[in-house]
Structure 1
Amino acid sequence: MSAATQAFLAMLAAERGAAANTLAAYARDLAGAEEEIGDLVAATRADVARLAGAWAGLAPASVARKTSALRQFFGFAVDEGWRGDDPSGALPSPRTRRPLPKVLSHGDIAVLFDRAEMEAGSGKPDAVRLLALIELLYGSGLRASELVALPRNAVPRDAPFLTVMGKGGQARMVPVGDRALAAVQAWLALRPADPASRFLFPSRGRLGHLSRVSLFQQVKALALRAGLDPAKVSPHVLRHAFATHLLEGGADLRVLQTLLGHADIATTQIYTHVDAARLVTLVNQRHPLATKATSD
């Protein structure tokens, strides 16, 4: 990787507070572009245009991500005086449709949790831990990365909230329901007493935390044991279910944005598609002219 791209990544980390996963994705995209066309600082507009052919077999979302990374790099290069022009206009601009989130029904959730509670009733640490994990995924809407990295002291003794470190190093307070809190307390009673580990869900044999891959695998396996299609169940799907079911219950979109840790309300608005009928009914019942229209 060139010194210029390293400087760009350092700027993202220092000035914008980019998360580690974001930096890793940008590093991959920029390194891949350098392999195709060479030094990005010296690349001509024709060189940049060649990337469209190199990316021809990729999904539109992948092309859009790579294009975004390069646009930002070239803007940074111009600001730094490394380039006198911005060739990013030659980059492809695919139109992507944001995929709608997979949604679990209330019935699916009930089946999944019935199975998890039955297994946790055995008192086996792994089963008790899994129940705590899915309670926090569905009960608090945590991202998988946020959940596995929770420190042990994130669970307060006197308040039903978790302190969560989200994307970009942004901390937020997340409410924890009675069910989830009880499941977490049950896990804490069985959690290995390793003073060297600061994580709520430590990994075995290391000082780190449970990995996202392991969490993903455990949730899939639970779904299979519960008789659900594992292809339709994942930690992220449980987060989607949290958002969707709260919206169905009347939650305000701004409140949901805060709970999910979305920087942009537009990201949260994707959940409104699942509850269009309720929103229409709400307008008909609550709009100031609705009563007048029905009484005339």
Structure 2
Amino acid sequence: MAKSLPPYQPFLDHLLLVERLSARTIDSYGRDLKALNDWAQGQGLALEQLDTEALRCHLDWRASAGYKASSTARLMTAAKRYYGFLLQEKQRGDDPTAPLLRPRLARPLPKSISEADVEALLAAPNLEDPLGLRDKAMLELLYAAGLRISELVGLSRDCVNLRQGLVRVIGKGDKERIVPMGEEALHWLDQYLKYGRPELIRDGDVLFPSQRGQQMTRQTFWHRIKLHGQVAGLKSDLSPHTLRHAFATHLVNHGADLRVVQMLLGHADLSTTQIYTQVARERLKRFHEQHHPRG
């Protein structure tokens, strides 16, 4: 006797033949819909006829059973696509998932490093070498202004105003922001422009050229950061955004207003910046546990 196809098979066929999704994506949808279908059958219900209340019961059951929010969110995505397909094919007159909210996923804390580690990293470049002086100025500016590496390597000579101590940055969405550099970054940028940059480039507007006098790629400078991290003896895992996250974390730790940090980072939404308040709370919690007699 031939095995009957699951009720969601036409939907999977649609994803393959019409939307041409990858086999891996389709398999993921299939696993989630099978789990939902198995639960429905256990309740004496049909998958294609589940209503909002039944789906809400399923979500409650998953929560009580200890399923991760990320797993439930993925299942909800599959269910929304499936019932949207049934609605489109006029096999249902409503979408039972419409009133349901996806589980809120905890945002991972950004990786940062301590102020002492930052100091060690900033001290690593060889200042007797034009490339080392360039890297020193880049690292100081990266940390002082909270830039993305792509923003840093894309700077031109006219983006920095040494007299006012400001750098003009073109961020995501071609949005421009003006960020103060601070005295240390200003000093080392001045030293680099006087003694380092003329050895690397004669003509052109690139602020931080490569060894060949061209605009550096973000991958090249990321490689340079890792090399300096090794020289500094850092055991922390560095990421392309390490100094940007350190910039924001250290500002918040020292009491900076969150909206000021938002403006400096160029975040369009304050909620993106608010992750750093959680970083600060985690730091205070660890400090309490380590030093309080009843921690």
After TM superposition, the score normalised by the length of structure 1 is: 0.61
Q: Aligned to 1:138, which of 143, 150, 161?
A: 143
Identity of aligned residues (%): 42
Match of 2:123 among 114, 118, 141: 114
CA pair 37-220 structure 1, distance change in 2 beyond 3 A = same
SS in 2 for 1:267: helix
Task: Name stretches of at least 5 consecutive residues in structure 2 with no aligned partner.
Answer: 1-14, 34-69, 85-94, 286-295
Q: Which residue of 1 is the match for residue 207 of structure 2?
A: 200
Q: Is the 8 A contact 2:131 2:211 kept in 1?
A: no
1:131 aligned partner, one-letter code: K
Shift in Å at residue 94 of structure 1? 7.9
Aligned-residue CA RMSD (Å) = 4.1
SS of the residue corresponding to residue 131 of structure 1 reads helix
> Cα gap change, 1:206/1:182 in structure 2, threshold over 3 Å: closer, same or farther?
closer
Q: What stretches of structure 1 of length at least 5 have no aligned partner?
A: 1-35, 75-86, 281-296
Change (3 A) 1:264 1:211: same
Aligned ranges for residues 1-296 of structure 1 at < 5 Å? 37=16, 40=19, 52-53=29-30, 96-116=105-125, 119-120=126-127, 122=128, 124-189=129-194, 190-191=196-197, 192-195=200-203, 197-205=204-212, 207=214, 209-229=215-235, 231=237, 233-276=238-281
Q: Give the drift of 1:230.
A: 5.6
Structure 2 residue matching 1:257: 3-state secondary structure: helix
Alpha-carbon separation, structure 1, partners of 2:186 and 2:226: 23
- Residue 39 to residue 277, structure 1, CA distance change in 2 (3 Å): closer
2:146 touches 2:243 (CA, 8 Å); kept in 1? yes
In 2: Cα distance, 1:184 partner to 1:219 partner: 17
Deviation at 1:205, TM superposition (A): 3.9
| Whole-angstrom distance in 1 between the partners of 2:233 and 2:26 | 50
Superimposed CA distance per residue, residues 210-261 of structure 1 (whole angstroms, 9 cap, x where no aligned partner): 1111111111111111111262x23411111100111111110000000000
Q: Distance in 2 between matches of 1:215 and 1:247?
A: 27
Contact kept? 2:162, 2:190, Cα under 8 Å: no
Q: TM-score when scaled to structure 2?
A: 0.61
Kept after mapping to 1: 8 A contact 2:162/2:186: no
Distance 1:183 1:222 in 2: 17
Where 2:263 maps in the other structure, the secondary structure is: helix
| 1:84-140 superposed Cα distances (whole Å, 9 cap, x missing partner) | xxx9x89xx786432101121122122222333xx21x2x01110111111011111
Secondary structure of residue in 1 paired with 2:267: coil
Residue 172 (structure 1) shift: 0.4
Structure 1 residue matching 2:118: 3-state secondary structure? helix
Residues 151 and 159 of structure 1, relative CA distance in 2, 3 Å threshold: same
1:163/1:174 contact within 8 Å kept: yes
> Which amino acid in the other structure matches residue 229 of structure 1?
K
Contact 2:143-2:247 at 8 Å conserved across structures:
yes
Q: Which amino acid aligns with 2:16?
A: I
Q: How many angstroms apart in 1 are the aligned matches of 2:31 and 2:150?
A: 32
User: Runs ≥4 in structure 1, deviation > 6 angstroms?
Assistant: 48-51, 277-280
What is the CA–CA distance in structure 1 between the aligned matches of 2:272 and 2:171, rounded to whole Å?
Answer: 15
Distance 1:228 1:39 in 2: 51
Cα distance in 1 between the residues matched to 2:283 and 2:229:
29
Alpha-carbon offset, residue 155 of structure 1:
1.1
**How many corresponding residue pairs?**
216
Counterpart Cα distance in 2 of 1:279 and 1:230: 20
Q: 1:194 to 1:51 in 2, by over 3 A?
A: farther
SS in 2 for 1:164: strand
Please tell me the residue identity of whatever aligns with 1:194. R
Q: What code does the residue aligned with 1:112 have?
A: L
Structure 1 pair 39/187, CA: closer, same or farther in 2 (3 Å)?
A: farther
| CA distance in structure 1 between the aligned counterparts of 2:173 and 2:31, rounded to whole angstroms | 31
